Copies of this chain bind each other. A is one copy, B any other.
Amino acid sequence: MEMHFDQHISRQFNEDLESIKTEMLEMGGMVARQVADAVDALANADSELAEKVLHIEEEIDRREMALDEHATLIIAKRQPAASDLRMVLSVTRIARDLERIGDEASKIAKMAIALTDEGTSPRGYTEIRHIANAVRKMLNDALDAYTRFDVASAMATLAEDEQVDMDYRTAVRELITYMMEDPRSISRVINVLWSLRSLERIGDHAKNICEQVVYLVEGADIRHGHEKNLKNF
């Protein structure tokens, strides 16, 4: 039996696709908020805000599971092919990265609580702010590129991760030097180091989202430096 791929069988199917895309973008908005709140909680030693971040994590986890179930149902019922299938798969993959970003935000929130308890760190907040701003921009731009199916913007955003990695390594080196000069600061500065690492990871996940934009639009898998799979660039 011949199947008419690429042409949607029904309006219902179109609505299904729009619906999981909307679910994912809503989740993206929540996660972006989590990252912002976690960083604010850390910078201001605000354990109340940090607790809020930890509380909302459960809601994000629940949403990822619901989205996964929804996507599996769509595949089973509608049997999408080609670009429609890529849409469903890219949404679930992005949802998984968003959930991981939420995890990292929670880790930063836990560090904020630890720092409220044992006294704030004498160093590292400038670096936190700087790298946090960069990865928050990456995340927003990645989701925006997905909304607009904008491959050029996704590729530009993806490239920003290199600078984030460099800034992260510089910050770690400086904080290690600082701890050696003032060993009493170690346990507090370590919390800042873990938070920086979480932010660096968030950059990696934002990069993954950009790669899914390229996969969705071009059908090319450019992960792990395989940009050559994208013939137009």
Interface size class of A (residues with CB under 8 A): 20 to 34
Within the complex, what minimum Cβ distance (angstroms) separates A117 from chain B?
A: 14
Supposing A180-B187, A183-B183 touch, asked if A224 and B58 sit within 8 A by C-beta, the answer is yes
Cα(A65)–Cα(B224), bound, Å: 9
Residues of B within 8 A of A72 (CB): 85-86, 89
The majority secondary structure among interface residues of chain A is helix
Q: Cβ of A69: which chain B residues have Cβ within 8 Å of it?
A: 221
A221 near B183: Cβ-Cβ < 8 Å: no
* Cβ contacts under 8 Å, A193 to chain B: 190
Task: Check if B224 sits within 8 Å of A62, measured CB to CB.
Answer: yes
Which of B62, B76, B183, B221 is close to A68, meaning CB atoms less than 8 Å apart? B221
Contact partner of A81 (CB less than 8 A), chosen from B61, B76, B190, is B76
Residue A148 lies at the interface, judged by CB distance under 8 Å to chain B? no
Interface membership of A79, Cβ < 8 A: yes
Q: Report whether A61 and B183 are in contact in the complex, using a CB–CB cutoff of 8 Å.
A: no
User: Per-residue 0/1 for A67-103: is the Cβ within 8 Å of any B Cβ (1 yes, 0 no)?
Assistant: 0110010011001111001100100000010000000
- Whether A155 sits at the interface, judged by CB under 8 Å, is no
Given contacts A82-B76, A85-B72, contact A61 B223 (CB under 8 A): yes
Kindly report which residue of chain B lies nearest to residue A92, judged by CB atoms.
Answer: B89
A106 to B76, CA, bound (A): 37
Going nearest first, the 10 A-B pairs with the smallest beta carbon separation are: A61-B224, A79-B79, A183-B183, A76-B81, A180-B183, A65-B221, A176-B187, A180-B186, A179-B186, A76-B85
A-B contact pairs, 29 of them (CB 8 A): A5-B76, A58-B224, A61-B223, A61-B224, A62-B224, A65-B221, A65-B223, A65-B224, A65-B226, A68-B221, A69-B221, A72-B86, A75-B85, A76-B82, A76-B85, A79-B79, A176-B186, A176-B187, A176-B190, A179-B179, A179-B183, A180-B183, A180-B184, A180-B186, A180-B187, A183-B183, A183-B186, A190-B193, A197-B197
Residues in chain A within 8 A of chain B (CB atoms): 5, 58, 61-62, 64-65, 68-69, 72, 75-76, 79-82, 85-86, 89, 96, 176, 179-180, 183-184, 186-187, 190, 193, 197, 221, 223-224, 226
